[in-house]
Every structure is written in C-alpha cells, then in structure tokens.
Structure 1
Amino acid sequence: MDALTDFLLELDALKLVNRRTYIAGGKRLENSAEHSWHLAMACWLMANHLKRDVSMEKLIKLALVHDLGEIDPGDTFLYDSARNAAPDLERKCVARLAAHGGNTISDLAELWDEQELGNSREAALLKVVDRLLPFLHNLASHGQAWKDHGITKSQVMEAHAFIKDVEPDIYAWFLQNLETAVNNGWLLKN
C-alpha cells in the first residue's frame, strides 16, 4: 500500500501544473488535472454525439493519461516556440511514472504514446477534442488567453488545421466561431 499511495501522490502533482487556459469565463487559470478530467468527459460526450465507433474505455484512459507527462516539465503553451521539445520531456516523465513501484497500470507508457502519436480512432478523436476545449474556453472568456499572449488568427488556424480532415463538421463550427472571435476583437487578425 505504501508504494501505491506514494504513486497516487505522484499523480496528484498534476494539479500543480497550471495551463494558460482560463476557466469559467476568465475566473482563473485551469490546471492540467482539471483539463484531463474535462477532456475525458468531453471525449465521452463527443464520441456519443458523433456516434463514433470507438472503445469508450480506451478513449477515457487516453484522456486520463494525456497530460501526465507534464508533471515534471510543466505545460507547454500551444503557441510556444518550445512546443516541439515538449514530447521528449513529457515522455521521460511518463517513463519515470511507469517505472514507479506503486504503478499498477502496466500499459501506462504505451497508452501515453498512443495518445501522443494519434495512431488510433480513439487518439484521433482525443486530439480533436483536446484542441477544441481551449478554443471553447477562449470563446467563453472573450479571448483572454489569446489577448494575454498576442495570439493571431493565423496561429489558431495553423494549430487547428488538422481537424478539417479528422472531423469536418467540428472544423466548420470552429471556422464560424473563429470569425466571431476575430470580429469581436478577441483574437488578432494577423
């Protein structure tokens, strides 16, 4: 039990990782543990809404392990120039967690790799929903995080472009709301 409870406290550290996404219309910044829970719920809801043939158990597991790699290096903002280095740092953290004596999830590292690489139906849907949630939070906060960091429409377009091929209906919704954000001054035109 001691090793298991020690591991649970290791996982609890995800609550200390702050993101740059504002929740509740701008009340405060979200932490990565909250994001993981919200991502799991959103994936479940979205899979049902879209009637996708996915393993719900796998989808939820992928969502729950999605941000564990941020425990050591922290969250890397989507528009950060250091974004390309993040997967390697996060993979090292996940390897450390997977090797922990209290970890009873034998496929922890494999699940994390699957969600990172996006090579299954579940991982592809997760990636779409993971991009959608911060976008939705920015709409709800009138672009607070975008304004904080001087984010432009072209940056948001580039970061969300892959959705067009994976979920065209979601992409159409995204484009409509992107224009609303620009027209309302929540996002720089370019």
Structure 2
Amino acid sequence: MFYWRDYPKPHRYESVADHTWRLVLLLILFEKKLSRKIDLDRAVKIAMVHDIPEIIAGDAPPIGSDGTGRDSHAFNKDVAKVRHKEEDKAAKEIFSKLPNKLGKELYDCWLELEEQKTYEAKVVKSLDRLECAIQILEYRKGGLMVFLGV
C-alpha cells in the first residue's frame, strides 16, 4: 500500500492557489455533467474561500501521523470536530477584516461547505477530494495527462 509520504518528491509542490484554481476548473468542467443543475456562481465562491482559514489554522494533511489517516481530520470524527473549531475561529478572524457584508457573505460560503447541507457544497467537497486525488497521481506518475489517459 502506498501512503502520501511514500510518493516521490515533486520538483514543485502544489500551492493553495494552484489547488483552488484547479478546483474551480473542475467545477466548470463538470457543471454540465452533473445529475442536476448547480448554481455555478455560488459553487465558485464556495471553492474560492474553502481553504482560506488555513492561512491561520494551517494545512492539516489527511494522512495523519502514521500515513493511514486513522488519526486525521479526514477519517476521525473527533479530530474533525477539533479541526472544524480551529478553522471556524480562523475563518471568523479573517473574514471579520473585510467590509461587513462581504465578510459575512464569504464566511457563509465557507460555513456552507463545512455544513454540507446544499448541493453546491456537496459538489465542491467531492471535487475538492477529486482534485487532491489527481494531485497524488501527478506526484506519483508525473502528470495530469496520465490521469486523463491522454
């Protein structure tokens, strides 16, 4: 079994900006393929702000301490609750620095993703995971074209 830490080091790691751009691109690519209509503008806003709390809270890798993810926010509900509280505090701090209406709108977009109650939030979360999987394949095999079979 391969764990994230076992992959060869790439010549350049993906930045949060790279990840977010690719997530938005996936939304655009999948928009017409989804089983029902999506509010693309709303989904793009959710995607654009989804990792902003990591500016303060940091990026928590889903692999955990032993490489399996068992003790990470991705697979452990107790750890996920703690992580959510950290990110919520960070989101409130960051978005409160913006003009009131905009700060509230962007915080609400972030919270919508966290709560997973809307179709747009569920699609963004699914494509966020897909983008991460594509990134793993790129690190492992050397390119998106390999993933796409091109």
**What TM-score do the two structures reach when normalised by structure 1?**
0.57
Q: CA deviation at 1:33?
A: 2.1
Identity of aligned residues (%): 26
Whole-Å Cα distance in 2 between the matches of residues 48 and 58 of structure 1?
15
Q: CA deviation at 1:88?
A: 1.2
Q: Which residue of 53, 57, 62 corresponds with 1:69?
A: 53
The 1:34–1:112 alpha-carbon spacing in structure 2 relative to 1, beyond 3 Å, is: same
SS of the aligned residue for 1:128 comes to: helix
Question: Which deviates the most, 51-60 or 102-111?
Answer: 102-111
Question: Which residue is equivalent to 1:126?
Answer: 124
The 1:104–1:36 alpha-carbon spacing in structure 2 relative to 1, beyond 3 Å, is: farther
Higher percent of residues as strand: 1
Say what the alpha-carbon RMSD is for the aligned residues: 2.6
Question: Which residue is equivalent to 1:94?
Answer: 91
Q: CA deviation at 1:90?
A: 1.0
Whole-Å Cα distance in 1 between the matches of residues 132 and 97 of structure 2?
31
Whole-Å Cα distance in 1 between the matches of residues 18 and 139 of structure 2?
17
Contiguous gaps of at least 5 residues in structure 2:
65-70, 74-79
Matched AA of 2:11: K
Match status 1:138 vs 2:142: no
Q: Which has the higher contact order (CA 8 A, sep 6+)?
A: 2
The 1:42–1:101 alpha-carbon spacing in structure 2 relative to 1, beyond 3 Å, is: closer
**What TM-score do the two structures reach when normalised by structure 2?**
0.71
Contact 1:44 1:59 in 2 (8 A): no
Q: CA deviation at 1:102?
A: 4.6
SS of the aligned residue for 2:63 comes to: coil
Contact 1:58 1:122 in 2 (8 A): yes
Whole-Å Cα distance in 1 between the matches of residues 128 and 98 of structure 2?
30
Whole-Å Cα distance in 2 between the matches of residues 140 and 48 of structure 1?
25
Contiguous gaps of at least 5 residues in structure 1:
1-19, 145-176, 178-190
Aligned residue pairs total 123
